[in-house]
Structure 1
Amino acid sequence: MSDKAASLKDVAGAAGVSVTTVSRLLNGSLALPEETRRRIEDAIRDLNYQPNPHARRLSRGRSDTIGLVVPDIANPFFAAFVAAVEEEADSRGLAVSLFATLNRTGREVAYLEMIGRKHVDGLIFVTNHPDDGQLAALINAAGRVVVTDEDVPGADAPKLFCDNDQGGYLAGRHLADHGHSRVLFVGCVEDMISGRRRFDGLRRALCEFWQADIVPASYRGSYTIAFGREAARRFIAEGMPATAIFATSDEITIGMMEVFRAEGVSVPGDVSLVGFDDVAPFHLFATPVTAVRQPVSAIGRRSLGLLVETDWQKLAAPAPQELMPVELVVRESVAPPAKR
């Protein structure tokens, strides 16, 4: 024997069958008589043939690899989400190709186009900015895409979100129960479903509790620490016009708490605060922060489940949308309104 690795053709020759017969036996698509199957297995053993797993996957028309597109893997929320998807994929014998877009449309477009080139079997797609229609068109053309966490309006794909409206309601009800009617909403732009639904839930809770038409003030920006700092400075400069704040992401909450601490604003002595996500270690803060908790790990696992379990041939419009439950984790950042 030479040092050259045995090929599929070598196995077929030794077993006295065709290359196609060996290939179909290896990929599980052909049942053979016991004597024929034994000849092939003996040839594989004697020749020390090592099947090429990539070639076998291609022969079945799939890669057994899932694409996972997220805005930012440095963000603790997305890091936890990625870990959950990886764990679920591993339990199903699948590989995950991870792509971080930096929340840039151009990179999102490039990764969506991969599914058309068969580099992955499907995509779990997460964006964190409004879409002008370009992403929706690509998702509809690609098929086999699950949209998670933030909506892409117009995309006819299975979608999975946390119950943002209920999260806003839980925050608003908790603040109202402590006597707050002047609540500042700090979140993303209204074009994004998460911000719109969280605001609507907050408003619904305040109106229901106070039996009045209350429209909370709002600062709109991005889910970043930088925007949280900017919002806190604006809040102070405007004379602290609310007695409580609903900060709708971990990053916004962290940025606001940094500025409040530096400027001597007490939470909850001067202003109460409720956060959202609860992936950050809010229980370790000098004032432990009450927050609405997203089930980020469950969202990651279910996203993978939706992708592999959906019957894409029978998927009818409109595609299904699922909501994952949220919960309020009460700590020490809410108190009755300060007397100013």
Structure 2
Amino acid sequence: MKTPTIQDVAQHAGVGVGTVSRVLNNHTAVKPATRETVLKAIADLNYTPNPHARRIAGGKSYTISVLLPVLTTEFYARLLNGLENAFQEARYDLAIFPLLDRSRLERYLASHTLAYQADGLVMATYNLTKVFHERRLQTRQPTVLVDAYTDDSDCSYMDNLTGGTLAGAYAATLPGTLYAVWVETELDQLFTTRVFEERRTGFHAALEQAGRRVEAEYTASFDTLAARNTATALLDDVAAKANGFPCTVFASADLLAGALMDEARVRGLTLGQDVRIIGFDDQPWAAARGLTTLHQPVEAMGYEAAQLLLSRLGGYRGPPRASRFEPHLIVRDSS
């Protein structure tokens, strides 16, 4: 049985080859009913586009480059899922470029690298547009930021200031001394993200309004061992105080909150009584472990960022757009 072609799809759907091509490229100039007919024909025939033929025909790579800090955290796995779901619907592939350190960023700032041979560019968490401009690097592809806000590019972002405010307002109602753990925000001292700075600002503002303050603050990198070491140091300090327990800890990421929960249990402390813990993310495991946390729709944020970029690839030439997502508090046993 021969492999179906785009001509077969067109004949099966009763449309022209050009219409099928526009559907495959997610072009806006296709009526919804026609799009559904073509998609059904594609499914009926089990048709798979030839990416090489598409590149030759349209001068496109049908690839989107994604620059993101790391690959190993649950947050970025969820973010990539949201991005990939949207781009796969439009038949684009993702090329992932983790930054990790200075040498990688320097390499990505060279315009000849693979990152710029894609049709579009997604920057996650870190806004590199300023660095690009300083290096006079003119990126020809449409660019969108996700998990970050900027005035001069399309972006899909979380309102972390509101999230921090919600965490602070709730923490202020709980008994005992207050503590906070923050994620280090600089990657190799080269560029920064405002995500945790905004969470911290909102948290402190809410505490101040309630007449409360934190006893001490700690920092940890996005690393499981570092998070556990910080949890150990924090609970050691609390235990050394005459009236250390009960206490409440706001951990600005669920990774840190999980390490605190583990360390508290090892010490025989009762979560929700001796130690109350508030996280931020609502990772998939948070509900099962009873973690009070700020839920953020990470996948939806990624999906929306992809839609913004796809609209640019489809011909939108308007001003930059910003899609704002807001976290909400979910109270569980840990507090």
Q: Common fold, TM-score beyond 0.5?
A: yes
**C-alpha distance in structure 1 between counterparts of 2:276 and 2:50, whole Å:** 60
Q: Which residue number in structure 1 is paired with residue 259 of structure 2?
A: 255
Task: Work out whether residues 188 and 222 of structure 1, in 8 Å CA contact, stay in contact via their aligned partners in 2.
Answer: yes
Q: Deviations over 1:217-275 (max 9, x none)?
A: 32123233223212211112323577211111121122222222223333222221100
Superposition map of 1:250-329 within 5 A: 250-285=254-289, 288-310=290-312, 314=317, 319-329=320-330
1:193 counterpart letter in structure 2: R
Equivalent of 2:75 in 66, 74, 77: 77
Deviation, 1:162, is 0.8
**SS of residue matched to 1:255:** helix
Deviation, 1:295, is 0.2
Q: Which residue number in structure 1 is paired with residue 160 of structure 2?
A: 164
**C-alpha distance in structure 2 between counterparts of 1:268 and 1:25, whole Å:** 59
What is the root-mean-square deviation in Å for CA atoms of aligned residues? 3.6
Q: Deviations over 1:4-24 (max 9, x none)?
A: xxxxxxxxxxxxxxxxxxx99
Q: Deviations over 1:292-317 (max 9, x none)?
A: 0110110110110111224888465x
Q: Deviations over 1:52-101 (max 9, x none)?
A: 64244344332222222333333222222212212111222x22223141
2:75 counterpart letter in structure 1: F
Deviation, 1:175, is 1.5
**SS of residue matched to 1:239:** helix
Task: Work out whether residues 69 and 124 of structure 1, in 8 Å CA contact, stay in contact via their aligned partners in 2.
Answer: yes
**C-alpha distance in structure 2 between counterparts of 1:139 and 1:202, whole Å:** 38
Paired residues, what number?
A: 281
Task: Work out whether residues 160 and 199 of structure 2, in 8 Å CA contact, stay in contact via their aligned partners in 1.
Answer: yes
**C-alpha distance in structure 2 between counterparts of 1:165 and 1:308, whole Å:** 28
Normalising by structure 2, report the TM-score. Answer: 0.71
**C-alpha distance in structure 2 between counterparts of 1:159 and 1:115, whole Å:** 24
**C-alpha distance in structure 2 between counterparts of 1:139 and 1:82, whole Å:** 29
Question: RCO greater where, 1 or 2, for CA within 8 Å and sep 6 or more?
Answer: 2
Q: Deviations over 1:161-204 (max 9, x none)?
A: 21111111111111222346633243334853111100011112
Would you say 1:182 and 2:181 are equivalent positions? no
Deviation, 1:109, is 4.7
Q: Which residue number in structure 2 is paired with residue 65 of structure 1?
A: 63
Task: Work out whether residues 61 and 118 of structure 2, in 8 Å CA contact, stay in contact via their aligned partners in 1.
Answer: yes
**C-alpha distance in structure 2 between counterparts of 1:80 and 1:248, whole Å:** 17
Residue 54 to residue 26, structure 1, CA distance change in 2 (3 Å): farther
Residue 74 to residue 124, structure 1, CA distance change in 2 (3 Å): same
**Structure 1: gaps (5+ residues):** 1-22, 29-50, 335-340
Would you say 1:95 and 2:97 are equivalent positions? no
**Identity value in percent:** 25
Q: Which residue number in structure 1 is paired with residue 250 of structure 2?
A: 246
Task: Work out whether residues 274 and 291 of structure 1, in 8 Å CA contact, stay in contact via their aligned partners in 2.
Answer: yes
Q: Which residue number in structure 1 is paired with residue 189 of structure 2?
A: none
Equivalent of 2:103 in 103, 106, 109: 106
**C-alpha distance in structure 2 between counterparts of 1:25 and 1:265, whole Å:** 64
**C-alpha distance in structure 1 between counterparts of 2:177 and 2:164, whole Å:** 14
**C-alpha distance in structure 1 between counterparts of 2:177 and 2:112, whole Å:** 49
Deviation, 1:291, is 0.5
Task: Work out whether residues 290 and 332 of structure 1, in 8 Å CA contact, stay in contact via their aligned partners in 2.
Answer: yes
Q: Which residue number in structure 2 is paired with residue 147 of structure 1?
A: 145
**Structure 2: gaps (5+ residues):** 1-16, 23-48, 187-191
Residue 295 to residue 26, structure 1, CA distance change in 2 (3 Å): closer
1:163 counterpart letter in structure 2: D
Would you say 1:223 and 2:233 are equivalent positions? no
Higher deviation after alignment, 140-149 or 199-208:
140-149
**C-alpha distance in structure 1 between counterparts of 2:287 and 2:21, whole Å:** 51
- The structure whose Rg is larger is 1
Q: Deviations over 1:127-172 (max 9, x none)?
A: 56x9796456469621522122246x8x943232211111111111
Superposition map of 1:118-157 within 5 A: 119-127=117-125, 134=131, 137=134, 141-142=138-139, 143-150=141-148, 156-157=152-153
Residue 56 to residue 253, structure 1, CA distance change in 2 (3 Å): same
**C-alpha distance in structure 1 between counterparts of 2:133 and 2:277, whole Å:** 35
Normalising by structure 1, report the TM-score. Answer: 0.70
**SS of residue matched to 2:234:** helix
Q: Deviations over 1:88-117 (max 9, x none)?
A: 11222x222231416234334545646888
Residue 69 to residue 106, structure 1, CA distance change in 2 (3 Å): same
